[in-house]
Amino acid sequence: MFNALVLEQQDGKTLAEVKQLDLVDLPDEEVLVEVSYSSLNYKDGLAVTGTGKIVHSFPMVPGIDLAGTVKESRSDDFKPGDQVIMTGWSVGERYWGGYSQFARLKSEWLVKMPAGMDAQKSMTIGTAGLTAMLCVMALEEGGITPDKGTVVVTGAAGGVGSVAVAILSKLGYTVAAVTGRESTHDYLRSLGATELLSREEMAEKARPLEKQRWAGAIDTVGDAILARVLAETDYRGVVAACGLAGGFKLPTTVMPFILRNVRLQGVDSVMCPVDIRTQAWNRLLTDLPESALGDIGNVVGLSEVPQAAADIIAGKIQGRTLVDPN
């Protein structure tokens, strides 16, 4: 028997409860993993609180990320004792996920733990950190090098934003951070941000083109802030958009694209191909400073997840939250 957080639905409401399960209760997938850590992402917050339509069927064990040790495997690619990372692939949405001491998973969802990485570190990074790295890679692909100018990060004190600030700063970029919380200013400066902007000023309705300020941008919030970022992006600048913490709309015009050659690059980590995923995990080893990880993560147990989930939706969480199911 082992512990898992189980979501059920009653009268249209999502209920989250720590339950004892048996290994035979787990879905019949190829690889059995003993989970060392999972993590809390905005999407997990939506799932656990029932705020967003994230969960496809109930009962569901949420947790879109996990890292742990292979216990049994019917796949030739993995053997007992292997350390693995799993993020995305709709786990915790369609398939049972990481808020559990054990999980059964498809082998193609698993990435071998890179040498130098461990379960705790990989889950401090998690889907949020992987997404941040993919956003940085998108800026690089668009030719945005540190000498081009400042890169702005929105939702900067959140999971994706905080890792993005730390990586960009380590790579030598000048980083501006947009945050709604003044209380996070010292934290963001410690991660390497040198300019701090308020959410309010960035959410003000922008004209189709504003004064050029940003060589590049990593946007985790969408809506009016993304529209302003686009209007303020330099000629041939690149904006990597990955999130909707502020809303899914994009009230913009074609002007930044057709007059300033601005590129809006979408970033998705869920279905990201394995070769790019592996490349990103390896980059995280070198490009995310070890010192930033300690500041970025805090840890909760399974029974504390529902409160932490409510906090992430309320925008009260700073950095990353690890989930220790043991």
Residues that bind ligand NDP (CB under 6 A): 41-43, 127-128, 131, 155-161, 179-181, 184, 199, 220-221, 225, 242-246, 267-270, 312, 315, 317
- Angle among Cα 285, 291, 296 to the nearest 5 degrees reads 90
CA-CA distances (angstroms) from residue 176 to 93, 158, 210? 33, 14, 17
Smaller CB separation from ligand NDP, 101 or 179: 179
Cα–Cα distance measured from residue 142 to residue 181, given in angstroms and rounded to the nearest whole number: 30
**Shortest gap between Cβ of 41 and ligand NDP (angstroms)?**
4
Give Cβ neighbours of residue 53 (< 8 Å, ≥ 6 apart): none
- For the bound state, the minimum distance from the C-beta of residue 93 to ligand NDP, rounded and expressed in Å, comes to 12
- Closest approach, Cβ 34 to ligand NDP, in A, equals 25
Tokens encoding 234: 């330099």
Query: What's the gap between Cα 154 and its chain centre?
Result: 13
Residue closer to ligand NDP, measured from CB, 230 or 317: 317
By beta-carbon proximity to ligand NDP, the closer residue of 41 and 124 is: 41
Tell me how crowded residue 215 is: count the other CB atoms within 10 A of its CB: 25
Q: Which is nearer to ligand NDP, 50 or 315 (CB)?
A: 315
Query: Taking the complex as a whole, how short is the minimal distance between the CB of residue 248 and ligand NDP, in angstroms?
Result: 9
| Shortest distance, position 227 Cβ to ligand NDP, whole Å | 12
Which is closer to ligand NDP, CB of 225 or CB of 292? 225
Phi, psi (deg, nearest 5) at residue 23: -55, -30
Task: Give the nearest distance from C-beta 235 to ligand NDP in angstroms.
Answer: 26
Answer whether 7's CB lies under 8 Å from 15's CB: yes
In the bound state, the residue with its beta carbon closest to ligand NDP is 158
| Range list of H helices, 50-144 | 119-141
Angle at CA of residue 231, ends 228 and 232, nearest 5°: 85
Nearer to ligand NDP among residue 81 and residue 273 (C-beta): 273
User: Which residue carries 């004892």 as its tokens?
Assistant: 20
Which amino acid appears at position 132 of this protein?
Answer: A
Q: Of 110 and 191, which has the nearer Cβ to ligand NDP?
A: 191
